[in-house]
A and B are shown apart, each in its own frame.
Chain A
Amino acid sequence: MKTKEPLIRLENLKKVYGEGDSQTTALLDVDFSINEGEFVAIMGASGSGKSTLLHILGFLDKQTSGIYYYGGKNNLHFSEPQLAALRNKELGFVFQAFHLLPKATVLENVLLPLAYSDEPESQWERLAREAISAVDLNHRVDHLAVSLSGGEKQRVAIARALVNNPSVIFADEPTGNLDSVSGKKVMEIIHKLNSLYKRTVILITHETSTAEHAERIIKIKDGRVVSDEAVKNRRAAEDDYSK
C-alpha cells in the first residue's frame, strides 16, 4: 500500500554561510518530515539555526546541500517565478518584527499578497476584509499600520498571511515582540488556524511555553536536530503561553 507523501520532507539538509575560514555551518544533517495539517514547533536557542531552517522551508533561501521536498518536488527544481508563486499561494509568513508597510493602512497591508496573486481584482477587497475580520480587526481596517499596537500589528500580519488561503503558515517567533496579553491573543489565532481551518503551522520559537501549543516539537541545537517528539500535554488555545 502506497503511503501518502509528506507535505515537507528534508534529507541531510545542510546550510553553510560564508567561504573559506569565515565559513559557518548553520544547519547540518537535518532530516524530518511534516505532514499536511500538522502543527509543528521548531525550537531552539538563539543562533541554533531555526530561523535559517524556516527560511529554507519558506523558499526564501536555499540549502547548501541535501534535499528539500515540498509536495514531493525538490525545491531546487523550482524556477524563481515558481518559488515566488509558491510563497504567494501556498505559504503565509508571520514574522517576529511584523514587517508591515508603516505608511499603508491595515487593508492595504492585507491586500499586498493579493496584488501578486492571480485572484481577480474584484475579489481582493472582500478577501482582505474577511481575513481582517478573522483576526478581529474590523474596527482598524482604515488605520495606518504605524498607528497600531504590537499585538494589532501581528494580527494584521496574520491576516496578510491568511488572505491567499495558504496551505502552510510559517510563524517566526510571532509573540517575540508582544506583551503577554497580545501574545496570548496571537497564539489563540494561530492555534485556531490549525485546529479549525486545518492549516499546517510551522512555528519557530525559543520558548517552551509557546512551543507547547504545537502537536510536535523539533528541537535544534547548533544546527542539528536533537529531538523530534510529540507534545504530551499540549496547551489549549486559550492557555496563557507565557506562564
Chain B
Amino acid sequence: MTLKQTFKIAAKSILAYRSRSLLTILGIVIGIASIILVTSISAGAADLILKQVRALGGKTMVIQPGQDPKGPGDFSELFTDSIKEKDYFFLNKEKKALDLLTVAPVILETLSVQKDNNFYRANVIGTTEEMPQILDVAPESGFIFSEEDVKAKASYAVIGDEVRQKLFPDSEALGQKIKIKGKNFKVIGVFPKKGQVGFLNLDEVIFVPYTTGMSYLFGRNYFNEIILEARDEKLVPSLAEDLKGVMRSLHDIKTIDPDKDDFHISTQQEALERVGMITDILTALLLAVAAISLVVGGIGIMNIMLVSVTERTKEIGLRKALGATNSDISLQFLIEAVLLTSAGGLVGILMGGGLSFLLSVILSFFLKLEWQFIFPYTGAVVGFVVSAGIGLLFGIYPARQAAAKNPIEALRYE
C-alpha cells in the first residue's frame, strides 16, 4: 500500500468521525494557539518597550535613586530621596567638563488639573528648560519656560495636546490659567500631538519648573530621576562610570561598591539588555506552560486514539482480512494521529494569530499604545512541527495496539 493511499484512508477516517476528531485536537489547538499568542505578545511587548527606550536616544543616561533593581522588592528604592537638588546643580554646572550636553531633573506626579468646570488628571512633571531638548520636542505654540523662570519659581505650565483638548475644548489655551492643587499656572506653551516619547505620553503631560513643583505641588525636595545626555553616544559607557564616581563623591560614599550606592545609572544599552532579558524569561516561562498544555493535549490524543482503536476493532480485523499488513494498520493509525495533530496545529496557528491581531487592535485603539502586531513566523513553524511531532510521538502506542489486534478477535468484536 502506498503512503499516498494510507494518507487518503487516514484522512477519510478522520472525516468520518468529525465531532470526535474536533474534540481530539482541541488540546493541541489550545496549546499551539497559546504558543503563537505568547510569542506574538512577547515580540509586540519587546518591540513597544524597545521603541520607547530607543526614542530617548542612545546618548541618554538616567540617574535614579536606590540601587539597580534586581527583583520586584528593589523597586521601592526608586521612590527614596537620595537624588537631591545639589546633585543636579553640580552636574549641570560641570556638564561641559563631564562631556554632557544636557542635564534635566525630573520630579513627577499624577495630579488633577482644573480649568473652570473642566478637569483632567495629568502627569505633572517638574523639570527645567532642557527637558524638551532631550525629548526632541518643542511647543507648537508659545514657548518653554527659561532658566530664569526655573530659578524664580515661575508659575508657568507647558501642556500636552490632550491636556489642551480636555481643559480648553473651545478656546485658545495659550495665556490662560489652569489650577493645579489650588495654585494657578499660566499656560505659556502647548506641545504638538506627539503621543509616546520614551516612557512618556507627551500628550498627557504638563511641564512646570521643578522649583515651583517642589514648593507648591509635590511636597518634597528630591527628584525621581535626573536625565543626562552625553555629547557623543560612544562616550556613554565611560561617562556612566565617571558619573558613578561623581555621584559617590556627592553622596559621600567612600567605597567603590555598587551595593553601597544609593543611586544607580541606567544607559540605553543596559535598558535594552534588561528588556531583552525580561522578555526572554517571560517567553520561556509562558512557552513552558504552553509546552505542558501540549503534552497534556498529546496524552489526550493518545487516549482518544486508543478509544478509536477499540471502537474500530472490527474495521481493523476487516482490513487485515482483506490484505492489510500489520505495518499498513500501524501506519494508518499513526498517520491519523499526525494528521489530527497537524490539523490541530494549523487551527491553533490561525487562532493564535487571530487572537494576537485582535489583542494588538485592542491595545492600539483602546489603550492607545503603539503596539505593533507581530506574527511569529518562527513560532508558527515550530508550533506546526511540534504538533505533528506530538501526533507521531503519542500516536505510536495506539498504532501498535491497532496493529497487534488479532483479525479473528477483531472481526468477532461487538
Contact = CB atoms under 8 A, between A and B. Distances in A.
A116 B406 CA distance: 18
Given A60-B407, A115-B9, A116-B1, A85 B314 contact: no
Interface stretch (A37-45, A68-76, A86-94): A86-94
A84 B320 contact: yes
15 contacts: A61-B406, A80-B326, A84-B320, A87-B323, A88-B323, A99-B317, A99-B318, A101-B315, A104-B16, A108-B12, A113-B322, A115-B5, A115-B9, A116-B322, A116-B325
A112 to B, nearest CB: 6
B322 A93 contact: yes
A101 B312 CA distance: 10
Given A112-B319, A115-B1, A99 B314 contact: yes
Contacts of B2: 121
B1 A60 contact: no
A58 interface: yes
Interface of A: 55, 58, 60-61, 80-81, 84-85, 87-89, 93, 95, 99, 101, 103-104, 108, 112-113, 115-117, 121, 160, 164
Contacts of B327: 81
Nearest to B321: A93
B328 interface: yes
Contacts of B322: 87-88, 93, 112-113, 116, 160
Contacts of A61: 406-408
- The size bracket of the interface on B is 20 to 34
Interface string B1-36: 110010001001000100000000000000000000
Given A95-B411, A115-B9, A58 B321 contact: yes
Nearest to A157: B318
Contacts of A113: 322-323
B286 interface: no
A160 B319 CA distance: 12
Contact of A104 (B12, B314, B320, B323): B12
A104 B312 CA distance: 14
Nearest to B317: A99
Given A93-B321, A121-B2, 11 more contacts: A55-B408, A80-B325, A84-B326, A87-B321, A89-B323, A95-B411, A99-B314, A115-B1, A116-B319, A117-B323, A160-B322
Given A60-B408, A81-B325, A99-B314, A87 B5 contact: no
Contacts of B315: 101
B324 interface: yes
Contact of A116 (B16, B314, B328): B328
B312 to A, nearest CB: 10
**10 closest cross-chain pairs (CB), A and B:** A88-B323, A116-B323, A84-B325, A103-B16, A113-B322, A99-B318, A60-B407, A81-B325, A87-B323, A61-B408
Contacts of B325: 80-81, 84, 116
Contacts of B323: 84-85, 87-89, 113, 116-117, 164
Nearest to B325: A84
Given A99-B314, A116-B1, A60 B328 contact: no
A171 to B, nearest CB: 13
Nearest to B407: A60
Nearest to A163: B322
Nearest to B2: A121
Contacts of B328: 84, 116
A32 B290 CA distance: 65
A148 B308 CA distance: 25
A58 B314 CA distance: 17
Contacts of A116: 1, 319, 322-325, 328
B56 to A, nearest CB: 65
